[in-house]
Amino acid sequence: DAKTTQPNSMESNEEEPVHLPCNHSTISGTDYIHWYRQLPSQGPEYVIHGLTSNVNNRMASLAIAEDRKSSTLILHRATLRDAAVYYCILSGGPNNAGNMLTFGGGTRLMVKP
Amino acid sequence: KAGVTQTPRYLIKTRGQQVTLSCSPISGHRSVSWYQQTPGQGLQFLFEYFSETQRNKGNFPGRFSGRQFSNSRSEMNVSTLELGDSALYLCASSSGQRHSGNTIYFGEGSWLTVV
């Protein structure tokens, strides 16, 4: 499975934008890029996903590099409730016939008031 | 609509015992996956069931098993419990279509402590 690389931790100030980077240089043409986040003592929560084009939803935006070897999750205005571990995950490939996600270490986002 | 429901939320077992965890997926979802989360290993995929058949399997010993019923509800079982099986066990559901763009929804997990 293609792997992702994320910084271990990042800090942000409340109400400022946050850009969470993810490198996936071995991504295949069929891999989707997923972002999930996990708040303390909860299960992971879907944030956003995309294949080639940038995506927006009510939670965040996903910017995908033209060569798809990296992506950035953008939180437009961080709140204290956004403090969580953010996982960038690739899903797909010829051996993933189902819905198996391979989680890395993620980025722990700390939001300062 | 209701989310993914896992029971029990918390349980304590003794080494050597066995445990069964239950998961009710989102209505209409046919794929159920199970994950183990520990501080040392992070989130690791256990297995996935789709239409009562195991479709993917992670790298866990045979003590870990699962099944899915015709209503898509799933159970996982761990036999001969070891201290290292103490973890948060997460269930996730999705529509299960055979492509990678599915959104996967997680439950809140079952906290298992083995003493």
A53-66 mean pLDDT:
95
Share of chain A above pLDDT 70, in %: 91
What pLDDT does residue B1 have? 58
Q: What is the mean pLDDT of residues B8-29?
A: 97
Q: How far apart are the first and last CA of chain A?
A: 38
Q: Round to whole Å and give the CA distance between B14 and B26.
A: 32
Q: What is the 3-state secondary structure (H, E, C) of chain A?
A: CCCCECCCEEEEECCCCEEEEEECCCCCCCCEEEEEEECCCCCCEEEEEECCCCEECCCCEEEECCCCCEEEEEECCCCHHHCEEEEEEEECCCCCCCCCCCCCCCEEEEEEC
Sign of the torsion angle spanned by Cα atoms A44, A49, A54, A59: negative
Per residue in A74-100, pLDDT (tens digit) is 999 999 999 999 999 988 655 555 577
> Do A98 and B92 make contact, defined as CB atoms within 8 angstroms?
no
Q: How confident is the model at residue A103 (pLDDT cuts 50, 70, 90)?
A: confident
Return the pLDDT at A94: 52
Instruction: Provide, as residue numbers in chain B, all residues whose Cβ is less than 8 Å from the Cβ of A34.
Output: 104
- How many angstroms separate the CA atoms of A25 and A32, rounded? 13
**Is some CB atom of chain A closer than 8 A to the CB atom of B106?**
yes
The tokens describing A112, both together, are 């300062």
Report the pLDDT value the prediction gives residue B38, as an integer from 0 to 100: 94
DSSP state of B108: -
For residue B108, the chain A residues in CB contact (below 8 A) are: 42-43
Across the interface, do B45 and A96 touch by the CB < 8 Å criterion?
Answer: no
Collect all residues of chain B within an 8 Å Cβ-Cβ radius of residue A99: 31, 33, 48, 56, 92, 94, 96, 102, 104
Interface probe for B, chosen from A35, A99, A103 (most Cβ of B below 10 Å), is: A99
Which residue of chain B is at minimal alpha-carbon distance from A41? B108
Q: Which residues contact A61 (CB under 8 A, 6 or more apart)?
A: A48, A54, A55, A73, A74, A76
Q: What is the mean pLDDT of chain B?
A: 93
From the list A36, A51, A97, the residue facing B101 with the nearest CB is A51
Count the neighbouring beta carbons within 10 Å of the beta carbon of residue A53: 8
- Residue in the block written with tokens 């239950």: B22
- As a whole number, mean pLDDT of residues B79-95 equals 95
Give the pLDDT of residue A25: 92
Over residues B1-21, the mean pLDDT reads: 94
Q: What is the mean pLDDT of chain A?
A: 90
Nearest chain A alpha carbon to B53: A98
Q: Is A7 on the interface with B (CB under 8 A)?
A: no
Q: Is residue B98's pLDDT more than 70? A: no
Buried b (16+ CB within 10 A) or exposed e, A64-89: beeebebbbbebeebeeebbbbbbbb
pLDDT higher than threshold 80 for residue B63: yes
Contact assessment for residue B80 and residue B63, using Cβ atoms and an 8 Å cutoff: yes
